[in-house]
Structures are given as structure tokens and as C-alpha cells.
Amino acid sequence: MTTPEMRRSALEQAGYNTFLIRSEDVYIDLLTDSGTSAMSDYQWAGMMLGDEAYAGSRNYYNLENTVRKYYGYKHLIPTHQGRGAEHILSQISTKPGDVVPGNMYFTTTRYHQEHAGAKFVDVIIDEAHDPTALHPFKGNVNLNKLEAVCKEYGKDRIPYLSLAATVNMAGGQPVSMENVRQVRKLCDKYEIPIMLDATRAVENAYFIQQREEGYSHKSVEDILKEFCSYTDGGTMSGKKDPLVNIGGWLSLNDDGLAEKARNMVVVYEGLHTYGGMSGRDMEAMARGIEESVEDDHMRARIGQVEYLGELLLEWGIPIVQPIGGHAVYLDARRFYPDMAQDQFPAQTLAAELYLDSGVRAMERGIVSAGRDVVTGKNHYPKLELVRLTIPRRVYTQAHMDVTAESVLNVYSNPKKPKGLQMVYEPEYLRFFQARFTPLG
Ligand code: PLI
């Protein structure tokens, strides 16, 4: 528990950036679901079976078999976390002047694409940029947008389509099976591979089971395997779906590309049979993947997110709809309709929420979007959101109630903040370390 005075002081010291608050000053931590989930007894038991050989650990082979079994990919290159895999993939596939189409950007993913010299082009459906649109698969690719990019640049300048399922920045929104099937057809026509950001693909599979015709009787496990079968490989942050605190991987079906990746991973991550993870970490991830595809687990996990979202909707609070897989996203524009985007409404809202109750959330708006690498100008995303992210197997319904009550307090407070001014802006992925002062 914290007092208002403690929180005011902690927030000032953190430059009004929730990433810079110490966790001991946080009451309920909804910053992220990344690496914050609780491991099970089965996973902890696996930690005791760590084979810490430098080369050829048996835990690596177990992980490789597990990824093959559930995701279906042929080659497994382990990395320390998701962005390690994004780095390797970008470096082995992308050259300056290339173009990478994707269904909305993710911060680290786009960073690595741009770092390798590519331009990112958003090909998600328009509904994804509208927090009120009720489309059941707001992560879908707009096939016309994708085809226009394919026609303009062709296979020589498009190393792959970057397909995220679910789409984090759109509000944890899924991609339908029908859409990935159509995307596969189109990419085959233009000979462009599809690389899946598989970070929350199990959550995506659950939404397909719940919402798409013909899938209600299939297991999450089977749906996941079918979905991945339309893609050529994937990057994974083990810190989300796979229920571990650290780890990731790059998976590829193409033998030549996998050989390149295995060569590059030794430079940045570690030998190709551990890639920055210890044996025990790989064992915990293999077991986490097994648990993550259980229908009951997914129902409980997403059910908890929906519980919080439905409570907020009942109270008339503006959130992104439909409710996403890993988080509830507050629509900061509708909290502060008079605040200009340059005054950082979502960053301000995250600060207000922390001040009210010690609940920590994350900005997903103009600060996260960063600047255009060519012009240096700010991106102005349509979505200006605060993410209440739910770690897996950590919090109770009571924590969701306290969070909802605090959001209601902030929403109904007649004294509206004036916004923030950015006083320190780091060069890369500025949202992590930027500092602000309050206006007015
Ligand atoms: O945080 P990493 O490096 O293990 O993974 C990067 C990453 C890649 N793709 C997607 C969709 C992510 O959500 C992601 C990381 N997400 C974080 C840290 C989050 O808070 O959402």
C-alpha cells in the first residue's frame, strides 16, 4: 500500500513515466504481461532438470520438439527474448531500401526492421485504428493494401510480410483464420514469405475458437497449429503466451535462412542451442508452451481480461472494443477530449491512474509511436491508449475490481489535468526512458 504523498513523490522522481517507477512503489502492476506471469509447479519442477551444458543441452532439444509439436516450425533458434529474434530475422533477411508490410507496427519489431534499413508499411484493416469499431478480427490484414504494396515493390524489395497475431498496439486484437488463408494466397502469388509474430498466437487461436465459424469445436492447440501452417516462420517473446519470465526464439521453415540465423545468433545471443537462455529457462518454456495451449487456461486468462473490460464498459468508461486478449485499453482521447496529442493524453492518464491508486499502466499512443526515421517528425497514431495489461495467473478478481474503481475515479474527476511536456527524449524506443513534467 502507498499513500498519495508517496505516489506523488515516486511519480515526480520517475519523470511521469511509469516505466521509471520502482516496483516497490506500485500497488497493482499492470504495466505489462511480459515476463510477469507466474510459473506453475510443473514449470518450476522443470527448472530443476536444467542441463547446463554449453552445447547441445537436452532442454534445447525438448524445446525444439515442443515448438515443432505445437507451432509446427522446422528450425528453432533460441534467443534471450523476442527482440533478439527480431534482430536476427531483420539482419538475415532485410537490406537497405526494402519495405516490410505489417498489420500495425509493434515498437521493437518496427525498430529492428528500420534498423536493418527497411521502411515499415501498415496494411491492417481501417477498423483497427478506430477504438469503437466492433469488428471481431481487428487484427486482419487489408488484402487490397497488401496487394498494392506487393505490386509497387515486388519480391525483390519485400523480404517478408510481418504478421502479428494478436495485434498488441491495436488493443490485443486477433487475426481470423480466413484472413491468414487469404494472405497466404496473396503472398504466394507475389512469392513473399510470411513471418508471424507468434508472441500471443495462442490467445489469437482462442479468439478464433470463440468467434470464427467452424472453429468452436476445435481445440486451441489444433487452431494454433493450423494458423502457423500458413506462415513460414515466426519470432517469439517467451515472456507472454509461453508463461516464462525470460526467453524467446526465432523459428524458420527455410533451411538456408535457418543456417544464416544459426550463424548470426552466435554473435549476438549465444550458441545456437541456447541463444541467451540457460537450460532450465528452456525447460520452463517448453513446459509453459504445453500449458499455454490448454483450453481451460486460455478461457481463464482471457476471461479475467474480459471481466475487467466488461466492468468498465458497464460504468460507461471508454475502452477499445472488442476487449483484447492480454489487456484492456483505455481510450485517452475520450478521457481528455480537449487535450492535444502533443500534450500526451495517454501518458497523462497513466500518471493520473498511478497517482489515484498506485495501479501502474502503460502509454500506447504518441510517445510509443516515436518519430519517422527519415523526416524525424513525430508519428501521430490515431490510437491514444493506456494499456491495463494483465499478467497470467497472478492477480485475483478483487485486484480487477480495485483497478476498475480507480479508473472510474480518474474518469469522473472533474479536475482535468493539463497534460505533460517531454523534457528528455532518448534516441531509440523513447517510451521506455522519456521524462516529462506536468503542464499548467
Ligand atoms: O519484450 P520482448 O523483446 O521479449 O518481445 C518483443 C515483443 C515482440 N512482439 C510483441 C507483439 C510484443 O508484445 C513484444 C513485447 N511486448 C512487450 C514488452 C509488452 O509490454 O507488450
* CA 156 to ligand 1 centroid distance, Å: 28
Q: Which atom of ligand 1 is nearest to the CA of 31?
A: 20
The protein residue whose alpha carbon is closest to atom 5 in ligand 1 is 82
Q: What is the pLDDT of residue 151?
A: 98
Residue 440 pLDDT > 90: no
| Confidence band of 19 (pLDDT split at 50, 70, 90) | very high
Q: What is the pLDDT of residue 11?
A: 98
Angle subtended by helix axes 58-70 and 220-229, to nearest 10:
90
The whole-number average pLDDT for the span 224-245 is 98
- Check pocket membership of 248 for ligand 1, CB cut-off 6 A: yes
Q: Cell digits for 77?
A: 533458434
CA 7 to chain centre: 28
Q: What is Dmax (Cα atoms) for the chain?
A: 61
The whole-number average pLDDT for the span 65-82 is 98
Identify whether 137 is a catalytic site residue.
no
Round to the nearest angstrom and report the end-to-end CA distance of the chain: 29
What tens digit of pLDDT does each residue of 112-140 get?
999 999 999 999 999 999 999 999 999 99
Pocket test for ligand 1, best of 34, 79, 107 (most atoms within 8 A of CB): 34
Q: Which of 117, 59, 61, 68 is nearest to 252 (CA)?
A: 68
Sign of the CA dihedral running 233, 238, 240, 242: positive
Average pLDDT of the chain is: 98
How far are the Cα atoms of 37, 188, 439 from residue 299, in angstroms, in the given order? 16, 34, 43
Residue 414 pLDDT > 90: yes
What percentage of residues in the chain have a pLDDT greater than 70? 100
* CA 2 to ligand 1 centroid distance, Å: 29
Q: Residues 291, 42: contact at Cβ < 8 Å?
A: yes
Residue 307 pLDDT > 90: yes
- For the entire predicted model, the pTM comes to 0.97
Q: Cell digits for 417?
A: 489535468
Q: What is the pLDDT of residue 100?
A: 98
The whole-number average pLDDT for the span 171-196 is 98
Residue 260 pLDDT > 90: yes
- Check pocket membership of 162 for ligand 1, CB cut-off 6 A: no
Match 502509454 to its residue by C-alpha cell: 363
- Domains and their CATH numbers in the chain: 4-33+295-438 (3.90.1150.10), 41-292 (3.40.640.10)
| Confidence band of 238 (pLDDT split at 50, 70, 90) | very high
Q: What are the start-end ranges of the E strands in 108-201?
A: 119-122, 161-164, 194-197
Q: Cell digits for 256?
A: 538456408
Based on DSSP, count helices (H) and strands (E) in the chain, helices before strands: 16, 14
The protein residue whose alpha carbon is closest to atom 2 in ligand 1 is 82
Identify whether 364 is a catalytic site residue.
yes
